[in-house]
Structure 1
Amino acid sequence: MKTRAIRLYGVNDLRLEEFELPPIAEDEILAKVITNSICMSDHKAAEQGPNHKRIPKDIDKNPIMLGHEFCGEIVEVGKKWQSKFQVGSRFSIQPALNYKGTLDAPGYSFRYIGGDATYVVIPQQVMELDCLLPYDGDAFFLGSLAEPVSCVVGTFHAMYHTTGGSYVHHMGIVEGGNLAILAGVGPMGLSAIDYALHNTHRKPGRLVVTDIDDARLKRAESLYSVEDAKANGVQLIYLNTKEFSDPVAKLMELTGGKGYDDVLVMAPVKALVEQADAILGKDGCLNFFAGPNKTDFSASLNFYNVHYASTHIVGTSGGNTDDMRESLMLMEKGLINPSAMVTHIGGLSAVPEAVINLPSIPGGKKMMYTHLDFPLVALADLSELGKSNPVFKELATLVAKHNGLWSAEAETYLLKHCTKRIKE
């Protein structure tokens, strides 16, 4: 089976190549990739090349396939797995293998599996760890978003609280409590709002979402309305903290002075972390979600409250396999819709430039369709591009139909009508 894939040979040395995949062994699976979502981790992998902790040193001779947020269909099943997986079934992948203490992961460490490809061989490491996850949803791009959504799911599960006199940690946010999501209207913040309102575990009683941009806050409210939140038993408040001389006082006022049981910090900003610490109530848990680029990033913490009010801090990076399964289940049932994460679409040939330049490309997730060949396109630009391209014109109509979001309907149209396809 021939495949076309983006392979990494060295620092920012990404090449689109066609080559032959080896026949699968009895403990492997051959799969067709349909979508892969570009992640900032891909940029870091390309930027660091063989110096990256997950990437082999000899990629100049044995290049790896890039991409770890992918979804597709099973093409061939090795003998060992034929009772569990069937040809034609859809799947997603948990890339964080933790296989026998190594950091090996699809999209970083393997020659024949990575999301930026048309076909891949799913190796025995993935199968042995039960990291090939069945997906029954109607949109491939949602299956690709299961990994980033699982990061949000894991964050909620990682929150913890205590009871005086006991050393037991009670995991998860406080049921019916006060939850704040600071800088919460970026792509991951929107996913956190969605999960807080629609998950099947536990919900806050009050959710306060902050930002300093009115347009972004209004966009968030159009996606996750106050009325919808109320129907789910949650009082939802959007707050532009830039409008207040003392944002902490305003945030505390919204809780009647009690403070917040749970606070998520979605941007690596010193002042934001300190604001989060200042609004914690007794036994409040602060989750530093945002990953900083600087290794010496720090902020002040009120240790008086740590001692006397039992406030505490956690940090999460990624979700585990159970978090991914939960993400897939919630999407399959239509309970959550992380489409707001997607701001761009593109074909396989657009991957290298998008990965290398990712920090300078605004917006959220870049969803790549690996069997198609077209440049990276912002959803916001579809209407203008549609003046000269009938496919983009119809896609613009479909995006507008779904409140500016990418959708299963738009994906189906793209897969059927895109005029440029990767030759197989």
Structure 2
Amino acid sequence: MKTRAVRLYGVDDIRCEEFELPEIKEDEILVKVITDSVCMSTYKTVKQGKNHKRVPKDVDVHPIILGHEFAGTIVKVGAKWQHEFKPGEKFAQQPALNYKGSLASPGYSYRFFGGDCTYCIIPQEVMELGCLLHYEGESFCQASLGEPMSCIIGGYHANYHTNKQNYNHKMGIKENGNLLILRGAGPMGLGAVDYVYSLQEKPKRVVVTDLDDTKLARARKVLPESKMKEIGVELIYMNPSHVENSTEALMALTEGNGYDDIFVYAPVRALAEQADKLLAFDGCLNFFAGPTDKDFTALINLYNCHYTSTHIMGSTGGNTDDLIEALTLSAKNIINPSLMVTHVGGLDSVVETTKNLPNIPGGKKLIYTQVDMPLTAIEDFGKMEGELFEKLHTSCEKHSGSWNAEAEKILLEHYRVELN
């Protein structure tokens, strides 16, 4: 059958085109993609082409389908997997395969498997690894956003603290501690704040910084301080450029004790060095942001590392358990990954969106691959002409300006997208 997809041929060479998919094998599954959210990792892939460690060297001859944060419905199941999957059911998928040591991953490596398309073929290793997941949630967008949310959850699980009595590590952030999220008003940072609602062992205080007042204003709208107060957590938003000495100001918020857990959400040397200065005794610094510079370094205080047990680590991606947790929490409405989304568009908008991603303000760009629609900011829905945008504006305003399941349904019905 034919599919329409955005494919990578080389550095800055991506094309939206139609081509024929091969017939699936007995150990493969054909799926219909409904949503894919555009990731900065995809932009980095486009800028590197075949020099990217996950991209095949012959990508100019055998282009790969971009996109790895996707969800949809199952169309056809090969004989090997018919006992487990059925046509018509919704799916989510874990792109971090690591199959037999291979770096191959959807959105980077496969000719017929990726998210920026109408249809694709799930190869057998995905099912073998348990990375094709049954999805019971209401909206496809939540399933797509399960992948970036799983990265956030993985970061929380990866943090640790030490026990001086027996040196055992206690995994996770410190209960009743101070949590700092630097450059945290972007989409991933908002997801990190939202995840706090699900924690059994919550921090007492969450401080979120960002240099962009517009982002901070939106953060306060979708995740107000009052909402966090309801679960007994103090939430503080801060623009450090508005204070004379941001390190002192941030330290003062902890009564001078420092932060037990710090997530650095931007690959900036000064930010990493500031985080190191703000660590409490046994504080854990998670360098979450992925730099593109292989020689990226920063100065750390090894005196504190030795005498006050500060420690620095990094986390990237999430595992299948993290994704299952994200999907479960979303389905139960405990977390709301949709608040990451600031723009919505169709498959025809993917090429320009991906190429210009760093220059497009806001958070996540959510793509509905079965439709053609210009990438549009949610905040601009009310300015657009037509009944569709009027309905979308009304729906999003009911949800504090956030994308939501009702809005998705309105969009899919307007474009008459068949889900099976």
TM-score by length of 2: 0.95
Q: Which moved more, 1:262-271 or 1:319-328?
A: 262-271
Change (3 A) 1:239 1:349: closer
Which residue of 2 is the match for residue 40 of structure 1? 40
Kindly state the Cα deviation for residue 20 of structure 1 after the two structures are TM-superposed: 2.3
Change (3 A) 1:119 1:213: closer
Structure 2: where are the runs of 5+ without partners?
none
Q: Is 1:269 matched up with 2:232?
A: no
Task: Figure out how many residues of one structure are paired with residues of the other and give that number.
Answer: 419
| 8 Å Cα contact 2:225-2:236 kept in structure 1 | yes
| 1:167-186 to 2 correspondences below 5 Å | 167-186=167-186
Change (3 A) 1:80 1:302: same
Kindly state the Cα deviation for residue 370 of structure 1 after the two structures are TM-superposed: 0.8
Kindly state the Cα deviation for residue 8 of structure 1 after the two structures are TM-superposed: 1.9
Which residue of 2 is the match for residue 147 of structure 1? 147
Render the CA deviation track for 1:306-349: whole Å, top value 9, x for unaligned. Answer: 01000011111111111111111110110001222111111112
Which residue of 1 is the match for residue 14 of structure 2? 14
| 1:259-338 to 2 correspondences below 5 Å | 259-338=258-337
CA distance in 2, matches of 1:205, 1:397: 35
Kindly state the Cα deviation for residue 15 of structure 1 after the two structures are TM-superposed: 2.2
Kindly state the Cα deviation for residue 74 of structure 1 after the two structures are TM-superposed: 0.8
CA distance in 2, matches of 1:288, 1:28: 37
Render the CA deviation track for 1:67-87: whole Å, top value 9, x for unaligned. Answer: 111000111122222222222
CA distance in 1, matches of 2:66, 2:194: 29
Change (3 A) 1:189 1:45: same
Change (3 A) 1:47 1:303: same
Instruction: Name which of 389, 397, 400 aligns with 2:394.
Output: 397
Which residue of 2 is the match for residue 414 of structure 1? 411
Render the CA deviation track for 1:106-152: whole Å, top value 9, x for unaligned. Answer: 11111111101111111101111111011111111111111111111
Change (3 A) 1:39 1:213: closer
Q: Which moved more, 1:24-33 or 1:155-164?
A: 24-33
Which residue of 2 is the match for residue 2 of structure 1? 2
| 8 Å Cα contact 2:45-2:52 kept in structure 1 | yes
Task: Please give the root-mean-square deviation of Cα atoms over the aligned residues, in Å.
Answer: 1.9
| 1:193-208 to 2 correspondences below 5 Å | 193-196=193-196, 198-208=197-207
CA distance in 1, matches of 2:240, 2:357: 28
Q: Write out the 4+ residue segments of structure 1 that deviate beyond 4 Å after TM superposition.
A: none
Q: Is 1:358 matched up with 2:347?
A: no
What is the identity percentage for the equivalent residue pairs of Structure 1 and Structure 2? 57
Render the CA deviation track for 1:377-403: whole Å, top value 9, x for unaligned. Answer: 2222222222xx332222222222221
CA distance in 2, matches of 1:218, 1:66: 32
| 8 Å Cα contact 2:116-2:350 kept in structure 1 | yes
Q: Which moved more, 1:213-222 or 1:314-323?
A: 213-222
User: Any idea what SS the aligned residue of 2:358 has?
Assistant: helix
CA distance in 2, matches of 1:36, 1:335: 22
| 8 Å Cα contact 2:222-2:401 kept in structure 1 | no
CA distance in 1, matches of 2:14, 2:245: 48
Which residue of 2 is the match for residue 231 of structure 1? 230
CA distance in 1, matches of 2:332, 2:320: 18
| 8 Å Cα contact 1:185-1:210 kept in structure 2 | yes
| 8 Å Cα contact 1:50-1:57 kept in structure 2 | yes
Change (3 A) 1:62 1:216: closer
Structure 1: where are the runs of 5+ without partners?
none
CA distance in 2, matches of 1:200, 1:212: 27
CA distance in 2, matches of 1:87, 1:232: 41
Which residue of 1 is the match for residue 97 of structure 2? 97
CA distance in 1, matches of 2:70, 2:159: 28
CA distance in 2, matches of 1:183, 1:354: 22
Render the CA deviation track for 1:155-182: whole Å, top value 9, x for unaligned. Answer: 1011011011433221110111111112
| 8 Å Cα contact 2:24-2:30 kept in structure 1 | yes
